[in-house]
Structure 1
Amino acid sequence: MKVVVQRVSKASVTIDDRKVADIGSGLLVLLGIINEDTQEDIKWLSNKVANLRVFGDENGVMNKSLIDMNGDAIVVSQFTLHALTKKGNRPSYIKAAKPDVAIPLYKAFVKQLEIDLGKNVQTGEFGADMKIELLNDGPVTIIIDSKNKE
């Protein structure tokens, strides 16, 4: 399981001209899932995202987490995070989990993040053509892979 975490001043997700998610200060989390991902990956990665210290404290040092800031989050499924680009110029998505595996894991990740944060997490819509608008704050963009814990 892989995420791209972006600290945002605001972010939103629109599908067919309908805004389905909209937050102020918080994190936009793009989530990629592979077949080998498990509940252990979900718990580890959700905890990491919730506690990632990327928000400034009173001295401007990135020392506060989303929990500390009581910030909001949007989680968007993005199978392209597992693209293979070694051969040729056309990405291969063979590593990305198919919907029958990915959807339950995606929903479980969102639910676990809600538990970790103690609040609702907004989402995109799995498999939809989404338009994501964000104001990256910093910019702060971090990639975390549950298969690279060490």
Structure 2
Amino acid sequence: MSLQAPISRDTHVVLRAAVLEFRESESRRRHAPVTIHVGRPDRVSPTWVVGPGQRLDAALRTDIAAGLLHRALADRALRLAGTPYAWLTRSGGLDLHDADAAWSAAVRGACADAGLAPVFVVVTRDGWVDPVSGVRREWRRLRRWRPPG
């Protein structure tokens, strides 16, 4: 399922959490590996790290996405949270790369086989983008909200 503007408040909160998590985990000195995640950013989610120079064909990417989806759905807490989100984290800007489209197709294929329609976005330090619809959100200074006091 591709995102359509305006997005729901829950989707905004979840995707903002994905960007924050990535920003806090990425070192500026070292490029983060391309990683596919399925679940919810506010919980521990199954991931797959694409190794440097690793070449994956469409069938293998779909199998990986299906395995991550299966693991996410096996987690009772994730299952109760509703349809899982899928996101690809990578360094660079929000301009789309070939890998973004390839992983988007793989996730859509795996989810179609499972009868689900999850949200798939690409997450960078700058924000997130849906590679199908082009809906995006960028931040210049994203900070974790802390209650006053």
TM-score band, normalised by the shorter chain? Answer: 0.3 to 0.5
Structure having the higher strand fraction is 1
Q: Which has the higher helix share?
A: 2
Provide TM-score, normalisation by structure 2. 0.41
